[in-house]
Structure 1
Amino acid sequence: MQKSSSPPSSWGFGLMLMTGGLVLIISVVVAVSVGAISVPASTVFGVVANKLLPGAVEIDWSRGREAIVWDIRLPRTLLAGFVGAGLAIVGAALQSVTRNPLADPHLLGISSGGAAGAILALLHTGLFLGLLTVPLMAFAGALVATLIVLGVTHFASATSADRLVLAGVAVSFIIMSLANIMIFMGDPRATHTVVFWMLGGLGLAQWNHLLFPLGILVLSVPYLLAKAADLNAMTIGDETASTLGIPVARFRLVVFVVGALITGVMVAFSGIIGFVGLMIPHIARFLVGGSYRRVLPASLLLGAIFLIWADILARTLMSPEDMPIGIVTGLIGGVFFIFLLRSRAGSGGR
């Protein structure tokens, strides 16, 4: 895995986090400002301030611009940040427990399982649990995909990290084939809605949807941060981790389940967005070193910033058309993947 040659000091790391937080705020403002109809940053701040503290500022904008900022772009931008942060930290954790720098939720089939669960709910079972139906079905699909990958690796004795990724790719193809069958058998008038989950998109973001991705991050991220030392040990090897008292098999399973939970909820509201969990942890390690006490928070920040800017590109490259964000991340991630393979080959990586 690529690491920085000279990790920053504690003071330097804190400064980097503060800088990243500032960049994140600026990114949110830019994302809300740009689009088919541009909105000045002053109006963005004014609308938000007026919504949070009614009467705090003088209203000098139209109702149309207020709706664009508050009802459309701000929830979409926040969802992009939540999804990017979630996928990035899951990718970092998976790369640790699999000891494979190419692991991420997309390559291991977790995203495909989540999308299949969402498609099943949308086209066949209906929203029998109300708004919770799609995220719960997406999580169930992601969890089933995770268990299948683990089962395949056990069945095929694919214990090496590289073979685990290959098993995940194979399971991903199988699950997406099943998802395509569900689409084929579904109501033709409704199948156009599943394109959102197949290509990835944030255009359906609403304020009442943000509770779910935010809630799962609040519940899951502290656990991963608390286990940073264990994740560090897992990168060295199972034997070393065992000697340190870590129940390797159980810990790996728990991380997979937590990853499936986060990924399933994110996929339920964003569709399949690939390569975020692959790219961002590598960039984080390059900037802050290999310790997961730093990689995890850095991945959260960088993932949020990256997906917000990817969404800006998706909304502006073909404006006024809204390009699926999965296309943007796929193009960027594919190029990154190629250069990552090249750098590993040049450094004699396994």
Structure 2
Amino acid sequence: MTSGGELGPPPGRGPARVAALFTVLTVGLVVVSIVSAAVGQFGIPASQVVGAVLDRIGIDVLAPPADPFAEAALWDVRFPRVVLALLVGGVLGVCGALMQGCFGNPLAEPGVVGVSSGAAVGACLSIVFGWTFLGAFTTPALAFGTGLVTTLAVYVLARSKGRAGVVTMILTGVAVNAVANAAIAFLVFAGDQAAREQIVFWQLGSLAGSRWAYVATIAPLVGVCVVVSLLLARRLDLLALGDRQARHLGVDVESLRLVTIVVVAIAVSAAVSYSGIISFVGLVVPHLIRMITGPGHRVLIPASLLGGALLLAAADLLARNAFHYADLPIGMLTALVGGPFFFWLLLRTRRREGGWT
């Protein structure tokens, strides 16, 4: 507290460390993006990748690819996939930071409120019944809609006497996730072999088949999510003091939680509708950033945006190039990293608190 009774700035790790973190994340993001666009079955020099981008914006410094097939591969296949990976990873990182701030728990992540499993139900419905009323956007649109509805249902069911407690919301999310997973299992059973394979591939997560149209759809939602998240940053810092203390400092806790959950539901539903379920990005990235910079959301949110984008872009680069003529599910790679990290986080929490409670 300051002498005037106002809350002081959230604790951090110093401006030099924060500046170094943002520098490393930005440079890493640029390097990984260029390498991801350059590397593949049809290799393109990194200088030509940069030249292609600069040429499009009217800067004639480096030569773009002379081969029209290379130019087409960059702009029609690789660049949309790289940009979509950055958008999806960034929004998952931001939403993970929001959920952890909203619930006051570093183990929280967007899937807690059922958004991923709800989106999977919509995607499975489209796949099993062969719905195409929106063309190529049918599966993403249904995934977006059911993810949003499922999350709002968790919030409504968890409310009691005008409030939605953290523990009640988490337990309600567990129950709704169980029902959604049962619905997915039933749809897998009801579908034919082709539908089952498509459902399994969608649930494992992939950025294959990315298009500029998908990027144009998700980019505005990501932008709105980031802007709203930054506007909520100060109130999330106050919420970290506890619900009662935050109310005394003028925070409408219920409205804050509702807005946060709606933002997470919209952003994550949009992300997973095109990428499938990608686990642990929203858990791992914000927690690592918090360990470096401290808990202040005005730094945590933009850093999580960059960190999530970097992590998913790097994972997609590995998924595309780990095996020849094979595209590994990206959700599998993030789970392989996130699972051990989650267990380490549990052990660290147990040691620090002296038990599991």
Q: Which ranges of structure 2 fall in alignment gaps of 5 or more residues?
A: 1-10
Residue 3 (structure 1) aligns with = none
Moved over 6 A (4+): none
The one-letter code of the counterpart of 2:225 is S
- Given candidates 31, 46, 49, the residue that maps to 1:41 is 46
Displacement of 1:167 in angstroms is: 3.7
Name the CA shift for 1:334/1:58 in 2 (closer, same or farther; >3 Å): closer
Structure 1 length as normaliser, TM-score? 0.89
Distance 2:111 2:169 in 1: 13
CA RMSD, 1 decimal: 2.6
- Given candidates 16, 40, 63, the residue that maps to 2:21 is 16
1:316–1:322 Cα contact (<8 Å) kept: yes
Residue 177 (structure 2) aligns with = 172
- Given candidates 97, 107, 116, the residue that maps to 1:92 is 97
> Which stretch of the first structure deviates more once superposed, 65-74 or 47-56?
47-56
2:116–2:147 Cα contact (<8 Å) kept: yes
Distance 2:202 2:127 in 1: 10
Once the two structures are superposed, residues 72-118 of structure 1 have per-residue CA deviations (whole angstroms, 9 ceiling, x without a partner) of: 12211111111111011111111111112111112432111112222
Displacement of 1:63 in angstroms is: 2.5
1:35–1:319 Cα contact (<8 Å) kept: no
- Given candidates 64, 74, 78, the residue that maps to 1:69 is 74
Identity %: 36
Displacement of 1:200 in angstroms is: 0.2
1:100–1:161 Cα contact (<8 Å) kept: no
1:98–1:164 Cα contact (<8 Å) kept: no
Distance 1:97 1:294 in 2: 16
Q: Which ranges of structure 1 fall in alignment gaps of 5 or more residues?
A: 1-5
Residue 128 (structure 1) aligns with = 133
Distance 2:167 2:349 in 1: 13
Distance 2:150 2:306 in 1: 27
The one-letter code of the counterpart of 2:278 is I
Residue 189 (structure 2) aligns with = 184
Alignment of structure 1 residues 1-350 onto 2, 5 Å: 7-10=12-15, 12-53=17-58, 58=63, 60-124=65-129, 126-130=131-135, 133-154=138-159, 161=166, 164-186=169-191, 188-348=193-353, 350=357
Number of residue pairs aligned between Structure 1 and Structure 2:
344
Distance 1:148 1:214 in 2: 26
The one-letter code of the counterpart of 1:120 is L
The one-letter code of the counterpart of 1:319 is H
Distance 1:162 1:341 in 2: 18
Q: State the secondary structure of the residue aligned to 1:203.
A: coil
Displacement of 1:31 in angstroms is: 1.1
1:114–1:263 Cα contact (<8 Å) kept: no
Q: State the secondary structure of the residue aligned to 2:250.
A: coil
Displacement of 1:293 in angstroms is: 0.6
Q: State the secondary structure of the residue aligned to 1:201.
A: coil
Displacement of 1:122 in angstroms is: 3.9
